Chain A
């Protein structure tokens, strides 16, 4: 039984991965957008580090995790659009008529989101490195950052899928995404050290999952890694992703009932 889940998940993931590779425009945009952010924000905010209390060597060093996490959010929050398209095209129903394990269909989404986010994050790390960024935490720090951004990606991917199956209209997904992306990013330490934020923003940021991923990543990437912060923020991320995946499974079941 369980081997069938694994092989079904593998085949469904492979399908999504091939679709990803076969859409070069989409692939290129996924890669170019972070480059723009990295070098645009890098140039724009270059002198921010000079503010007393910012406490970082170069802004590019500071910015790389910010862009990685922002990209993880912005690319995964559109996952629901794909699911919606599969529903409308009848592809999802075609799979539901086969003996494929139901869980494999949703598992494939999670695996795919985590994989593409990790891939995108690695590219940004390399681009930052080419641009002259330093990673004092070494490989361990980078791995924590990439894992944290992938988990964050699955959180937003799962919520987006749940939303897509629930409301079944593109407008809602577009509206919610454009409404959420910038506040979530700016209410975190992505571009600005939290210590320099107004007090109320610091409070809000503490409950922002985008900030959890950044805190976990930054703590592991500093020269003196704070593993307690990595564990606590990482723990909250994993808990939230479990909740998000559970929610998407629930809405998937209710979709099956509504066919």
Chain B
């Protein structure tokens, strides 16, 4: 394994394009937050460290993705940036206002779609929107016009007079987004907007987010634990693990950093001599980062498809049969594996300090 690149994981972050504190839509520096779960004080007397020095900066008018497994600290970050929770240390500004010192100004500038729908299930869709607008001081025809506009835009006009508890999952999520937009916020927070949606509703939500991103200079901060969602929607993204940003950049920059395709070879039988396999593959031009685990060989190649015949020939030369070969373009999963030091799915199944 190439250890050289792992020692400087932040070397990827290009400094151009990262706005400074004054003109960033969201700017967070060194956020730290520790939770002290009730009743479990003995098991973890020092509490659960949800955020461990997280810093991000979001350019106005762009979609920024916070990507990480459950329990990585994404939701805690959103809670702090939306004034719901206070950080133990560190500072953050949203739309130019300090979240700790000017929470009321921050609240007026942001819209939030939380993980759990906050819509009132007994009220109608229209009533939910009207109430939300009133809490921001909107009144009269200006408010009703805005509500009608949102109902039409999110395809909820027909269901507007129905109680929200009768809505489908996709409709409810669209209503949540509409609720977040009533007062025309500058920054919209979407906390795992597609979790729990069926594939069709997820695709529809993605299209909706793409439409939003183009309009009215709205800045969107999106958290997700779906790699493809971050890849598809975010202009820039930060990968979060164990309460800190392990790497950030555009999806292409992050994938490009891995240089080349992933090559996976499944041997017909276990290799007796590991070094011989690595030696044989290492002699193939353009193949590097070779690792062997049991019958599985993983490597990187500048051009995966072109390398396959040479790899097969090299393995044949040392009398090793091959059961399967796959070539894949680098994915964010690979990026995650490299910078978080573990695969995304393994981090998902053993969330560190998971607490919603």
Contact = CB atoms under 8 A, between A and B. Distances in A.
Are these two chains actual partners, yes or no? yes
A205 to B, nearest CB: 36
A30 to B, nearest CB: 15
Given A11-B131, A23-B122, A90 B86 contact: no
A89 B116 contact: yes
Interface string B98-132: 00000010011010101111111111000100011
Given A19-B120, A22-B123, A94 B112 contact: yes
A33 interface: no
Of A88, A98, A99, A259, the most chain B CB neighbours within 10 A belong to A98
B131 A89 contact: no
A11 B134 contact: yes
B84 A18 contact: no
B122 A19 contact: yes
A208 interface: no
A98 B84 contact: no
A89 B84 contact: no
A100 B135 contact: yes
A97 B136 contact: no
A91 B107 contact: no
Contacts of A215: none
B174 to A, nearest CB: 16
A95 B119 CA distance: 10
A259 B123 contact: no
Interface string B75-102: 0000100111110000000000000000
A22 B135 contact: no
Contacts of B163: 22
A257 B117 CA distance: 21
Given A11-B135, A89-B117, A93-B114, A259 B107 contact: no
Nearest to B113: A94
A46 interface: no
A15 interface: yes
B122 A99 contact: no
A18 B127 contact: yes
Interface in B185-241: none
A15 B75 CA distance: 28
A226 to B, nearest CB: 44
B86 A15 contact: no
A249 to B, nearest CB: 18
Given A90-B116, A90-B118, A93-B114, A18 B132 contact: no
A4 B104 CA distance: 13
Chain A interface mostly? helix
Given A18-B123, A22-B122, A259-B79, A95 B135 contact: yes
Q: Chain B contact residues (Cβ within 8 angstroms of A): what range?
A: 20 to 34
A98 B114 contact: no
B120 A91 contact: yes
Contacts of A223: none
B40 to A, nearest CB: 14
A96 interface: yes
Contacts of A11: 131, 134-135
Given A15-B131, A22-B163, A259-B79, A96 B119 contact: no
Given A8-B135, A11-B131, A93-B114, A19 B108 contact: no
Given A22-B163, A259-B84, A94 B114 contact: yes
A97 B123 CA distance: 19
Contacts of B127: 15, 18
A90 B82 CA distance: 14
A89 B121 contact: yes
Contact of A90 (B108, B115, B122, B131): B115
Interface in A77-91: 88-91
Interface in A1-60: 4, 7-8, 11, 15, 18-19, 22-23
A96 B107 CA distance: 9
Contacts of A22: 122-123, 163
Contacts of B104: 99
The 5 A-B residue pairs whose C-beta atoms are closest, nearest first, are A94-B118, A90-B116, A98-B135, A90-B118, A19-B122
Interface of A: 4, 7-8, 11, 15, 18-19, 22-23, 88-91, 93-100, 257, 259
Interface of B: 79, 82-86, 104, 107-108, 110, 112, 114-123, 127, 131-132, 134-137, 163, 179
13 contacts: A7-B134, A11-B131, A11-B135, A18-B122, A89-B116, A90-B118, A93-B84, A97-B82, A97-B83, A98-B132, A99-B135, A257-B86, A259-B79
